[in-house]
Structure 1
Amino acid sequence: MRVSMMNMYSNNLQSMQHLTSDVAKVNQQMATGKSILRPSDDPIGAAKVVTTQRDLASTSQYLKNTESLSTSLDRSETYLSSMTNLQSRMREITIGANNGSLSPEDRAAYAAELEELLESFVDVTNAKDDGGNYLFSGNKTDTPPIGVDANGDYFYQGDDSQREVQISGSSWMAGNVTAADFMFSTGGTDILNQTKQFIDVLNDPSLAPGDPAFGDAADDMMQALDDSLAGVSGAITDIGGKQNAIALMQTSHNERILFNEEVIGETEGLDYAQATAEFNLKLTTLQVTQQSFVQVSQLSLFNHI
C-alpha cells in the first residue's frame, strides 16, 4: 500500500509539474506572439527564422544606404544646378560685354558683377553637407575643393577618389562627384581662373571690343563656359541615372523586406485562436490535476480503518 501511494503521489506531482510548464509556455507564446520560443520547439523553423532575419537585417541596411545615398546625390545635384544658373548669367555678361558701344565704366560694371558671380561659384563648389563634409573634394571631405594659391589663382585641392556605397549584396555605387571631374578635367583653363582673367580684361580701360587681346579673352571665356557647362551637365545627368537605379533598387529592397517579414511571421507567428484553446484546456487539466493531487496527498491507511 505504501509503494502504491508513493507511486500515485509521484505521478500526480510530475503530471502537475509538466502541466504547469505547458501552461507557462503557452502563456509566454501568447505574450510574445511567437510559437517558437527556443530552437528546440521547432529546430527547422528556428533555423529558417534565423536565416531570414539575417537577410532582413542586411536588406534593411542596404535600403538605409540607398536612402542616404539618394539624399547625398540630391544635395549635390542642387548645387550643380546652381552652378548652371550662375554660368548662364556669366555667359550673358560675356556676350553683353563684347559690345563696342560700351564705355570703360560699363565694362567695369560687368566686371564687378562677374566678381560676385565668381565668388558665388566658388562658394557653391565648396558646399558642405549636413555633417560639415565638403561635397566635391573626393575623400578629402575636411578640405574645401577650391583653394587659392599665392598668386591668387584657383586650384583643386581635393582628390579624385570615389566614395563607394554598397546598395545590395553585390552592387556598389559611387556616392560623390568631384570638382576635378566637372571643372578641372578639361585641357583648357578652368572656368574660375578664366573668369578671373576676363575680369582683369574688363577692368582694363585700354582694352575694348575690337582689340585682339579683348577678343581672345572673350573667346577663351566662352570656351571655358562651354567646357564647364558640359562638365556640370554631365555630372547632373550621371546623378539622374544613379537616382533612377537607386529607385529601382529601393523597390526591390522593400519587396524583399516585406517577403522576409511574411516568412518570419508565417514560421514563428502564433495562431491565437488555437493557442487560446490550448491554454484553456491545459489550464483546466492543471486545475483538475491539482485537485486530485490534494486528495491523493491526504490519503493514508487511517482513512480506510
Structure 2
Amino acid sequence: MRVSMMNMYSQNLQSMQNLTSDVARVNQQMATGKSILRPSDDPIGMAKVITTQRDLASTSQYLQNTESLSTSLDRSETYLSSMTNLQMRMREITIGANNGALSPEDRAAYAAELSELLESFVDVVNAKDDGGNYLFSGNETGTAPIGIDADGNYFYQGDDGHREVQISGSAWMKGNVTAQEFLFSSGGTDILNQTKQFIDVLNDPDLSPGDDDFRQAAEDMLATLDDSLASISGAITDIGGKQNALSLMQTTHTERILFSEEVIGETEGLDYAQATAEFNLKLTTLQVTQQSFVQVSQLSLFNHM
C-alpha cells in the first residue's frame, strides 16, 4: 500500500508540475504574441523565422540606403539646377553685352552683375550637406571643391572619388558627382575662369563689341557656357535616371519587407483564440489536479483500514 500511495503522490505531483509549466508557457505566449518561445517548441519553424529575420534586416538596411542616397542625390540635383539658372543669366548678359550701342558704363554694369553671379556660382558649387560635408569634392568632403590660387584663378581642389552605396544584395550605385566632372573636364577654360576673363574685358574701357578681342572673348564665353550647361545638364539627367532606379528598388524592398514580416507572423504568430482555449483548459485541469493532490497527500494507511 505504501508503494501504491507513493506512486499516486508522485504521479499527482508530476502532473501538477507539468500543468503548471504548460499554463506558464501558454501565458507567456499570450503575453508575447508568439507561438514559438524557444527552438525546442518548433525547430523547423524557428529556423525559418531566423532566416527570414536575417533577410528582413538586410532588406531594411538596403531600403534605408536607397532613401538616404535618394535624399543626397535630390540635394545635389537642386544645386546643379541652381547652377544652370545662374548660367542662363550669364548667357543673357554675354549676348546683351555684345552690343555696340552700349556705353562703357553699361558694360561695367553688366560686369558687376556677372561678378555677383560668379560669386553665387562658386558658393553653390561649394555647397554642403546637413552634416557639413561638401557635396562636389569627391571623397575630400572636408575640402571645398573650388579654391583660388595666388594669381586669383579658380581651381578644383577635391578628388575624383565616388562613394559607392549598396542598394541591394548585388547592386551598388555611385552616390555623388564631382565639380571636376561637370566644370573642369572639357579640356578648355572652365566657366569660372572664363567668366572672370570676360568680366575683365567688360571692364576694359578700351575694348568694345566692334573689336576683335571683345568679339573673341564673347564667343569664348558663349562656347564655354554651352559646354558647361551641357555637362551640368548631363549630370542632372544622370541623377534623374538614378532616382528612377532607386524608386523602383525602394518599391521592391518595401514589398519584400512586408512579405518577410508576413512570413514571420504566420510562422511564429499566436492564434489567440486557440491559445485562450488551451489556457483555460490547462488552468482548469491544473486546479482539478491540485485538489486531487491535496486529497492524496492527506491519505494514510489508516484511511484504508
TM-score range, shorter chain: over 0.9
CA displacement 1:7-31 (0-9 Å, x = unmatched): 1111100000000000000000010
1:156 aligned partner? 156
Q: Supply the distance in 1 between the matched residues of 2:33 and 2:66 (Cα, whole angstroms).
A: 32
Deviations 1:134-158 (A, max 9, x none): 0000000000000000000000001
Provide the residue aligned with 2:237 in structure 1.
237
Q: Secondary structure at the match of 2:155?
A: strand
The equivalent residue for 1:301 is: 301
Counterpart in 2 of 1:82? Answer: 82
Secondary structure in structure 1 of the residue aligned to 2:206: coil
Shift of 1:119: 0.1
Listed one character per residue, the Cα deviations across residues 65-110 of structure 1 (whole Å, up to 9, x for unaligned) are: 0000000000000000000100010000000000001111100000
Task: Quote the Cα distance in structure 1 between the aligned partners of 2:130 and 2:277.
Answer: 55
* Partner Cα distance (2:67, 2:297) in 1: 67
In structure 1, the residue matched to 2:269 is 269
> C-alpha separation between the residues in 1 aligned to 2:156 and 2:226?
19
Deviations 1:144-173 (A, max 9, x none): 000000000000001111100000000000
Specify the code of the residue in structure 1 equivalent to 2:75. R
Shift of 1:4: 0.9
Matched, 1:216 2:216: yes
Spell out the pairing of 1:32-111 with structure 2 (5 A cutoff). 32-111=32-111
- Counterpart residue type for residue 298 of structure 1: Q
Letter in 1 for 2:17: Q
Query: Distance in 2 between the 1:197 and 1:169 partners?
Result: 50
State the alpha-carbon separation in 2 of the partners of residues 247 and 150 from structure 1: 46
Residue of structure 1 equivalent to 2:181: 181
SS of 2:205's equivalent in the other structure is coil
**Number of residue pairs matched by the alignment:** 305
1:92-131 matched pairs, under 5 angstroms: 92-131=92-131
Which residue identity is paired with 2:199? I
TM-score when scaled to structure 1?
A: 0.99
Percent of residue pairs bearing the same amino acid type: 86
Gaps of 5+ in 1: none
1:19-67 alpha-carbon deviations (Å, 9 max, x no partner): 0000000000010010000001000000000000000000000000000
Give the corresponding residue for 2:8.
8
Q: Distance in 2 between matches of 1:215 and 1:280?
A: 96
> For 1:143, what is the secondary structure of its paired residue?
coil
TM-score norm. by structure 2 comes to: 0.99
Structure 2: state its 5+ residue gaps: none
Give 3-state SS (helix, strand or coil) of 1:144's partner: coil
* Cα deviation, residue 182, structure 1: 0.6
Q: Report the AA paired with residue 233 of structure 2.
A: S
Give matches, 1:280-291, under 5 Å. 280-291=280-291
- Structure 2 CA distance for aligned equivalents of residues 302 and 119 of structure 1: 109
Q: Using the alignment, how far apart are the partners of 1:40 and 1:179 within structure 2? A: 59
Q: Output the amino acid matched with 1:93.
A: I
* Aligned counterparts of 2:304 and 2:270: Cα–Cα separation in 1: 50
Distance of 1:219 and 1:293 partners within structure 2: 106
User: For residues 123 and 17 of structure 1, what CA distance do their matches in structure 2 show?
Assistant: 76
Q: Distance in 2 between matches of 1:139 and 1:168?
A: 22
The whole-number CA distance in structure 1 between the counterparts of 2:121 and 2:40 is 66
Q: Residue 155 of structure 1: SS of its match in structure 2?
A: strand
Is residue 204 from structure 1 mapped to residue 204 from structure 2 by the alignment?
yes
Aligned to 1:168: 168
TM-superposition CA deviations, 1:257-298 (whole Å, max 9, x none)? 010001000100011111111101000000000000000000
RMSD, aligned α-carbons: 0.6
Q: Post-superposition shift, 1:303?
A: 2.4
- Alignment correspondent of 2:27: 27
Aligned residue type for 1:157: Q
Give the distance between the partners of 2:264 and 2:171, measured in 1 at CA: 26
2:191 aligns to what? 191
Report the secondary structure of 2:283's partner residue.
helix
Q: Which amino acid aligns with 1:288?
A: V
Distance 1:125 1:187 in 2: 19
SS in 2 for 1:61: helix
What is the CA–CA distance in structure 2 between the aligned matches of 1:189 and 1:114, rounded to whole Å? Answer: 17
